[in-house]
A = this chain, B = another copy of it.
Amino acid sequence: MAVYTQVCDEALATFLDEYDLGTPRAFKGIAEGVENSNYYLETDQGRFILTLFERRADPKDLPYFIDLKRHLSTRNYPCPAPVAGRDGHALRQLQGRPAVIVSFLDGLSPRRPNTSQCRSLGEGLARMHLALADFEKTRANSLGPASWPGLWKGRAATADDLQEGLAELIENDLSAIAAAKPQSFEIPRGTIHADLFPDNAFFLGDEFTGAIDFYFACTDALAYDIAVCLNSWAFEDGKEYNFSKGSALIAGYESVRRLETRERDALPALCRGAALRFFLTRLVDWTDTPADALVRPKNPLDYAARLSFHRKDVSAADYGA
């Protein structure tokens, strides 16, 4: 939530020379997204977001993300639509960084989504999966189960510092998931968002108006996307599972795309895996973020609390599926 790279009026004017967007009328750095620099840009032609990709973004992944958003927007799915320059290219360079201009999306992110918003989000997620069904590019999930032992390595003591006995619980989660092998579940796979937290979704009132921040999108089980959303939308204060919200989210999803029985059965393992993935990456950020960083790391314990729900002998019905 910071602007890492300053773009001055002159640099912007030079950059906009490559587009047919008219002259700028307003330009302000905004606190959106965690890893990149974003600017609100208004020109004679409308409102846009200019994103500069900072070091954590792998430049070779960027065409995938941009093509994905272009694909969604050609299907009229509400997301930031990449704007091409006069040469037809959307991905350019600015201040020595890859940069892209996308369309502005109306809506606000809910901090505490209500049940109606959860239902609407579920519908929006399913519509996204359908709109991406014929998206041909693929990208491996670099934060899938294969990556988790590496993220965990050497961090047991940190986990125990955060909460006594936590390391052993996490070891058990890792073993259980290694035994369950969710990667080999025979369930529908395709292009998923993989990070559709409330701050990456916009609403007007209770109506989902679009998704942003596709920078973890990848090819994986569609139901894993539901698992990520159940973790991030349906836990009250990061602790208690809210059955009404969770079942509304799933019902919203199913109003657009029915879950197969095997997907439903896979939900508990996928939810546990998703919680572990966010616990581990937050644990890494927690220890690796320098004290003077512009962004404060999020507390990994929020996801440890979710794991204690998933760890119980829960079935799909316990999630409301």
Binding site for B on A (CB under 8 A): 1-3, 8-10, 12, 23-32, 40, 42, 104, 106-112, 203-205, 291-294
Please give, as numbers and ranges, the residues of chain B lying within 8 Å of A31 by CB-CB distance: 2-3, 28-31
Q: Is the CB of B27 within 8 A of A108?
A: yes
Please give, as numbers and ranges, the residues of chain B lying within 8 Å of A8 by CB-CB distance: 110-112
Pick the contact of A30: B30, B110, B293 (CB < 8 A). Answer: B30
Q: Is the CB of B106 within 8 A of A25?
A: yes
Within the assembled complex, what's the spacing in Å between the Cα atoms of A262 and B11? 41
Q: Is the CB of B40 within 8 A of A30?
A: yes
Q: Name the residue in A29, A42, A108, A110 with the highest tally of chain B Cβ atoms < 10 Å from its Cβ.
A: A108
For residue A21, give the distance in angstroms from its CB to the closest CB of chain B: 14
Q: Is the CB of A9 within 8 A of B110?
A: yes
In addition to A9-B203, A10-B110, A26-B108, 13 A-B residue pairs with Cβ atoms within 8 Å of each other are A1-B3, A1-B29, A2-B31, A3-B31, A8-B111, A8-B112, A10-B111, A25-B107, A25-B204, A28-B31, A28-B40, A30-B31, A294-B294
Within the assembled complex, what's the spacing in Å between the Cα atoms of A108 and B204? 29
Copies per assembly: 2
Q: Which residue of B lies closest to A205 (CB)?
A: B23
Within the assembled complex, what's the spacing in Å between the Cα atoms of A8 and B112? 9
Pick the contact of A107: B12, B26, B203 (CB < 8 A). Answer: B26
Please give, as numbers and ranges, the residues of chain B lying within 8 Å of A32 by CB-CB distance: 28-29
Within the assembled complex, what's the spacing in Å between the Cα atoms of A9 and B3? 22
Decide yes or no: A9 and B205 within 8 Å by CB, A28-B31, A30-B29, A31-B28 being known contacts: no
Q: Which residue of B lies closest to A11 (CB)?
A: B111
A-B contact pairs, 16 of them (CB 8 A): A1-B3, A8-B110, A8-B112, A9-B203, A10-B110, A24-B108, A25-B107, A25-B204, A26-B106, A28-B31, A28-B32, A28-B40, A30-B30, A31-B31, A42-B106, A292-B293
Within the assembled complex, what's the spacing in Å between the Cα atoms of A110 and B24? 12
For residue A58, give the distance in angstroms from its CB to the closest CB of chain B: 25
Q: Which residue of B lies closest to A3 (CB)?
A: B31
Q: Which residue of B lies closest to A24 (CB)?
A: B108
Q: Which residue of B lies closest to A40 (CB)?
A: B40
Decide yes or no: A9 and B108 within 8 Å by CB, A29-B1, A30-B30, A31-B28 being known contacts: yes
Within the assembled complex, what's the spacing in Å between the Cα atoms of A292 and B292? 4
Q: Which residue of B lies closest to A37 (CB)?
A: B31
For residue A7, give the distance in angstroms from its CB to the closest CB of chain B: 9
Q: Which residue of B lies closest to A106 (CB)?
A: B25
Please give, as numbers and ranges, the residues of chain B lying within 8 Å of A291 by CB-CB distance: 291-292
